[in-house]
Amino acid sequence: MDSSSTRRQATRQKLFEAAVTLIAEQGFSSTTVDEIAERAGVAKGTVYYNFASKTVLFEELLRHGIGLLTASLQSAADETAERGGSHADALDAMVRAGLHFIARHPALTQLYVAELWRTNRAWQSTLMVVRRQATAVIESVLREGVAARELSEDVDIPLTASALFGMVLVAALDWQSYQPERPLDDVHAALSRLLQGRVGGAPAKGVGALAKGVGAPAEGARTSG
């Protein structure tokens, strides 16, 4: 990559960071291009040079941010497979990777979750696409686990993938907002127990799909807690 491309990527990254922080703080409609430029430390024209409009900037922000999260989940699954871990181990590693990502990018996650509930946005289709990319990574591991007979063949793969993805997002935001003093290891351990379908040694209530689908790990698989 030449120096001009490197500079442009650095500028776009600054604009992403400025936009996600401002929009998370005060909403999309209340955030102006002038404010984004000021927060990023660039001229207003630089924003329009890189993005045709504030809406385009936000769409690209969603693609960029959730793309990074998706890559983090995929990397966790790949690294677990390379170590010879089970598919249950891979799911657990993805939970941890998701928590770590959200701890580093809480504003992006807050913004993404808020936008999921809106239906009148121009970028709704983009939001659905990036969400689908993230859950597809989880679905792939679940599908492989079922094929390898590590996981129950009764598991509802799309719903379980969505449940896991949502569990990590919501739990992490709650952690960051209300229990920030808790270390990541504690939060990960709690979610691992839910993933394995038990809380305090008993089947977890309210997570029927997870308990039925992931349930008891395959023989030799690592358990947490």
For 207-220, what is the mean pLDDT?
Answer: 40
Burial of 160 (0-12, 13-18, 19+ CB in 10 A): buried
Band of pLDDT at residue 105, cut at 50, 70 and 90: confident
pLDDT tens across 121-176, in order?
A: 777 788 888 889 999 999 999 999 999 999 888 889 999 999 999 999 989 989 98
pLDDT of the residue at 2: 66
Contact yes or no for 22/39 (Cβ under 8 A): yes
pLDDT bin (cut points 50, 70, 90) of residue 213 is very low
Task: Give the pTM.
Answer: 0.78
**16 touches 61 (CB < 8 A):** yes
* Residue among 76, 70, 69, 42 nearest 57 (CA): 42
> What mean pLDDT, rounded, does the chain reach?
83
Give 119's pLDDT tier (boundaries 50, 70, 90): low
Short-list 108, 99, 87, CA closest to 168: 99
Query: Residue 203 pairs with which residues in a beta bridge?
Result: 198
Residues 87 and 69: beta-carbon distance below 8 Å = no
